[in-house]
Amino acid sequence: MSEKKKLFIKTWGCQMNVYDSERMAESLGHEGYESTEKVEDADMILLNTCHIREKAAEKIYSELGRFKGLKAENPDLKIGVAGCVAQAEGEEIIRRQPMVDLVVGPQTYHRLPKMMETVKQGKRALDTDFPEEDKFEHLKLRPKAKRAPAAFLTVQEGCDKFCAFCVVPYTRGAEVSRPVERIIREANELVERGVREITLLGQNVNAYHGQGPKGTMGLAGLIAELDKVDGLERIRYTTSHPNDMEDALIEAHGTCAKLMPYLHLPVQSGSDKILKRMNRNHTAESYLRVIERFREARPDILLSGDFIVGFPEETDQDFEDTMALVREVHYGQAYSFCYSSRPGTPAAERALVDPQVAKERLHRLQELLWEQQRQTQTDMIGRTVSVMFEKPGRIEGQMIGKSGYLHAVHAAAEGVQVGDIRDVKIIATESNSLTGEILP
Ligand code: SAH
Ligand code: SF4
Ligand code: F3S
């Protein structure tokens, strides 16, 4: 029997890319590849790329450069580029990098087996084109057995929002939702394989409107259906947009026990002028009102967000408006970035803020966000939270899991199995995790 070939995948970007990498690994599994963590052992290297920030393509080219030696040693080594850089610059990659054998987009990876046939014949394959009738076929690839108790499930893809800074609508295409029945079936399959927590994924997950038994359903309807899946204990979703918040979803946070008390709701800026320039179609005030309603439904909900500083025309006052919004919300966790211009987006044409000024603003914002995160963690001390344990910790007998608020929690866990959900009393906080004691 011939030995299996080794596949090394490196993934950048959002959780949707993580999900796609898993599906691609499974698909290539049927082609005789098994995953390896060691790039030196690989018979095939696949880079699943992200295009969201500046220099993404350059980074991929320099990454590819590092494989030159490996390719020289092993001329049969296959190299592929997938994801959003592949989608945006596929032809350029093929032209500039002769050692790349395969370029596949985020909507076309279901055609990998066919592409591999081409590659096996010593030819190069480029496939980033998704004709209407074939669109979203990739989402029919079903997840295989995995030992982890927490899994992602893509329910929605693409974006119709066209924020002035963002490449996603161009690389991931228009919004589309998977049918309810298929999602429920997949959730059941995951649960049969030991999954107890599912994170519903989408670039605009709360814009979900999938075909259900009685017409289309929003995200709240889908969550109500998932609530009925026996053995599924925890439901999360990400990433939401403030403009797609339906009342029923907010309410669900107060009524559905399986829905975890955590919300990632990017706002990007606290200045109405900048929000307008960003084409966000909401104001700081309307965002704050949405947050207020979530807190009414679920007072302990932990809030997370995304911020961009130094967007074109951002003044000191605009930035102070962002700081004021952050103070008002009080985030438990957040991501913040300096604006970077992305070719092809409307904002790419506009004059940049002085990079030094942008950097200083980012620094101040991150100090504030960090302080809020620390405070949120400190406030957990003395509280009892439910933790789902996911893997052994570094210390013998210890395990690490996630609380409902998505905090990493470690505890001495004699006799606890991966996937067990236990009440844990928090006793200390470290920089990015909490320490707890499992209650009897
Ligand atoms: N669909 C999600 C996530 C988009 S990408 C949403 O709308 O929230 C994740 C984050 O990357 C964005 O929220 C934004 O904060 C950041 N981002 C996107 N494009 C950017 C750019 N050109 N420069 C800096 N940050 C950017
Ligand atoms: Fe990008 Fe805006 Fe769409 Fe989010 S909502 S993916 S930031 S265009
Ligand atoms: Fe990046 Fe594409 Fe996700 S650009 S953030 S990998 S949708």
Q: Binding residue per annotation — 256?
A: no
Is the CB of 278 within 6 Å of ligand 2?
no
Q: How many CA atoms lie within 13 A of 44 on its CB side?
A: 26
**Is it true that domain 262-379 has CATH number 3.30.750.200?**
yes
As its CATH architecture, domain 143-260 has 2-Layer Sandwich (3.30)
Determine the residue of 162, 206, 264, 287 to mutate for testing ligand 2's pocket, defined as the one with the most ligand atoms within 8 A of the Cβ atom. 162
Domain boundaries, the chain: 5-127, 143-260, 262-379, 384-438
Topology given in CATH for the domain delimited by 5-127: Rossmann fold (3.40.50)
Give the global pTM: 0.93
Buried b (16+ CB within 10 A) or exposed e, 99-120: ebbbbbbbbbbbbbeebbeebe
For 12-154, where are the E strands, in sequence order?
A: 33-35, 44-49, 78-82, 102-104, 125-127, 150-154
CA of 166 relative to ligand 2 center, distance in Å: 6
Local confidence pLDDT in tens for the 440 residues of the chain? 458 899 999 999 999 999 999 999 999 998 999 999 999 999 999 999 999 988 888 899 999 999 999 999 998 999 999 999 999 999 999 999 999 999 999 989 999 999 999 999 999 999 998 766 666 677 777 666 566 899 999 999 999 999 999 999 999 999 999 999 999 999 999 999 999 999 999 999 999 999 998 899 999 999 999 999 999 999 999 999 999 999 999 999 999 999 999 999 999 999 999 999 999 999 999 999 999 999 999 999 999 999 999 999 999 999 999 999 999 999 999 999 999 999 899 999 999 999 999 999 999 999 999 999 999 999 999 999 999 999 999 899 999 999 999 999 999 999 999 999 999 999 999 999 999 999 99
Give the class (CATH, top level) of 384-438: mainly beta
* Nearest ligand by distance to the CA of 164: 2
| Identical fold between 5-127 and 384-438 | no
Is the CB of 203 within 6 Å of ligand 2?
yes
CA of 205 relative to ligand 2 center, distance in Å: 11
**In this structure, which amino acid lies at residue 278?**
M
Q: Binding residue per annotation — 84?
A: yes
What is the distance between the alpha carbons of residues 194 and 198, in angstroms, rounded to a whole number? 11
